[in-house]
Amino acid sequence: MPDSSFASRFAPFEALATLLLPHAADGDDGAHDLAHIVRVFHNALRIHAKEGGDAELLASAVLLHDCVAVEKNSPHRKQASRLAAEKATEVLLSLGWEKARVEAAAHAILTHSFSANIPPETLEAKILQDADRLDSLGAMGVARTFYIAGRMGSALYDAADPLAKHRDLDDKAFCLDHFPAKLLKLADGFQTETGRTLAAERHRRLEEFRDLFLDEI
C-alpha cells in the first residue's frame, strides 16, 4: 500500500481515493497493480472530459475495478469482474453510499472485463470499459502482454510457425499469438467516440510493434 500522498494521483478525487485505495488492488500482478489503476483513471478522465457522466461514480468504479485478483490462466478468470463488483458493493455500502449509486458503480465494474463479455449499459460503464482497454493497447499494451506471458511461463512465439498459418492460435503457449487472438481486435469494440479515437492511435502502435517484431525474427 503506498503512502497517503499517492491519493494525489487521483485528483480531484483525493478524498475518495484515500478511502478506496486500501481496497483497490489485490495480489501481486504487475499488470493489474496500482500503477494500472492510475493509468485507467487518467484515461477515464480524458474520456469523461469529452463524453460527460458522473465523475465521482466513475472514479469509484476505476479505483475498485480490479479489487479481486484472478490470474489470466485461472479457470475462474471470467468471474473476476463479478467478484470485484461484489466486493466493491460491500465497500461502497459501508461508506454510506446510496444503493442506486452503488449498483451503478458495480455495473461498471462488472461490465469492464473483456473476459466477462457483458455489454455496458450506462455511460460510466462504457467509459470504464474504454479506459481499461486503452491500457491493453499501444506501448503499454505491449509491455503488459509480455509481462503476463513471462508470469505465465509462455514462449515469446512459435519458432516453427510464428504467424499460426498452420495451427490454431494459442496465446497461453505463445505471447505473439495474443496479438491476433485479442489485442488487435480490441479497437473495434470501443464504446465511446472519444475512446475510439484514442484506441485507433494505440492500435496503430500495436501493429507497428508486431511488424517490427516479425521483421526481427
The pLDDT of residue 75 is above 70 = no
Helices and strands in the chain: count of H runs, count of E runs: 9, 0
Q: What gap in Å lies between CA 84 and CA 107, rounded to an integer?
A: 10
pTM: 0.91
pLDDT number for residue 77 = 62
Per-residue pLDDT band at 4 (split at 50, 70, 90): low
Q: Calculate mean pLDDT across residues 182-209.
A: 97
Stronger pLDDT, 52 or 24, i.e. the higher one: 52
The pLDDT of residue 35 is above 70 = yes
- Residue 127: partners with Cβ closer than 8 Å, 6 or more residues away: 44, 47, 48, 51, 53, 58, 108, 191, 192, 195
CATH level 2 (architecture), domain 136-217: Orthogonal Bundle (1.10)
3-state secondary structure of 113: coil
